Structure 1
C-alpha cells in the first residue's frame, strides 16, 4: 500500500477517535463553529469524508480521464467561495443532518466500519485506480488527498465547536495539507499576498484563506 493511502487511514483514525469524544455527544444539538451547521451536521459531514470511499470503490471505475489534483480545486470545486445559502451548501447541510439522525454513537460506528473496510480495500487497489463522484473524476490517491484535507479542516472545526484540543495530524499529513492549501492560497490571492502573510505582519492582508 502506498504511503499516501496509509497516511489517509491514520488521519481517518484520528477523526474516528474525535467522533467518540464524549464532548461531541454532549454538544450534539448545539450550534457548531460553522455558521448554519449544528454539531450533529458538522460531525456527519466529517464522517462522510471517510464513509464515502468504500462506496466509491464498489463502483465501476469511470471511463473519463482523471483531472489533476490542483486542477480539481481550480475547475471542479465549485463550493470554494460559495455563499452559505448556495444550493450546494444548503444541500450539504441537509444531507449531513440526515446522516446524523441516528445519533453520535451510530455515526461513530459507521466510521469505524468504513475504516475497517478500507484497511482491506486500499492495499488491493491498483496505482492507477480512478474514482468519480458526481462531476469529480480523480485518481484514487488524489481523491484521498482531498479527503485528508477535508478531515484535517473539519476535525479542527469540530474540536473547536465542542471545546476539545484539535487532533494533531501525523507530520507527513500536516505537511501535505499545508502545502496544498498554500498553493491554493497563492492561486486565489496571488503570491505577494501569501508572501506578506507569511513574513510581514505589518503588511499582511486580512486573509489568505485557500478554500
Structure 2
C-alpha cells in the first residue's frame, strides 16, 4: 500500500507542476464553484496534508473501519453550500494562494518527505485525522488519499484540457474496491449488480460518493 500511494502521489506532483495547469490557473474548473487553482490546491493536499498527518504522534483513539469513515464524513452527499464543502473549497484556495510554482514546489517537497517517512511506517498504526476527530490505520488513511487522488487528477486534467494521467493498477485496484463497497452500501447490491451487468435494468446512478 505504501508504494501504491507513492505512485499516486507522484502523479499529483507531476500534474500540479504541469505548465498547462498553470496556464488556466484562475479559470473555473470542472467542479462547480472551484477554480483550477482551488482544485489544484485541494488535490495537492492529498500529499501535503498526508505528510503532516503521518508525522503526528499516534492518538489514543482506536481506528475506525474504512467504510465507516465515509459514512461519518459530513461532506458525503452534502449540498455545495454545506459548511463541509465550503471548507473544502476554502482550504483548496488557501493551499494554492501563493501560485502554481509555489504549490508545485511544496507538493514535491512533501512527496520527498513521505518517501523517507513511509520507508519505516507501520500499516496498522493509528493516525488521527484532525479535521474529523477520529482515527484510521495508516493503510486505510493512504487508501482514502488514493481515492482522492484518483478522482481529482481526472477533475484537474479535464479542467486544463489535457489527458488524464494513467494511474497504475496497484493504485486503482484498492480505489475501485473501496468505491464498490461504498456504492453497495449506498444503493444496495442489486442496483450495483444491474448497473454492471444489465444495461436494460441499470439504475440511473450507482455513484458511491
TM-score for the superposition, normalised by structure 1: 0.95
Alpha-carbon separation, structure 1, partners of 2:123 and 2:191: 37
User: Which residue of structure 2 aligns with residue 195 of structure 1?
Assistant: 193
CA distance in 1, matches of 2:84, 2:67: 21
Deviation at 1:66, TM superposition (A): 0.4
- Superposition pairs for residues 49-60 of structure 1, below 5 Å? 49-60=46-57
Query: What's the offset of the Cα at 1:70?
Result: 1.7
Q: Which runs of 5+ in 1 are unaligned?
A: none
Aligned residues, how many? Answer: 207
**Structure-2 residue corresponding to 1:82:** 78
Which secondary structure state, in structure 2, belongs to the residue aligned with residue 78 of structure 1? coil
Deviation at 1:127, TM superposition (A): 3.5
Q: 1:129 aligns with which of 109, 125, 146?
A: 125
Q: Which residue of 2 aligns with 1:24?
A: 21
- Distance across 1 between alignment mates of 2:97 and 2:166: 28
Q: Which runs of 5+ in 2 are unaligned?
A: none
| TM-score, length of structure 2 as denominator length | 0.96
The answer to whether the aligner puts 1:209 opposite 2:207 as a matched pair is yes
Question: Any runs of at least 4 consecutive aligned residues in structure 1 with deviations exceeding 3 A, and if so which?
Answer: none
* RMSD, aligned α-carbons: 1.1
The aligned residue for residue 117 of structure 1 is 113
For 2:119, what is the secondary structure of its paired residue? helix
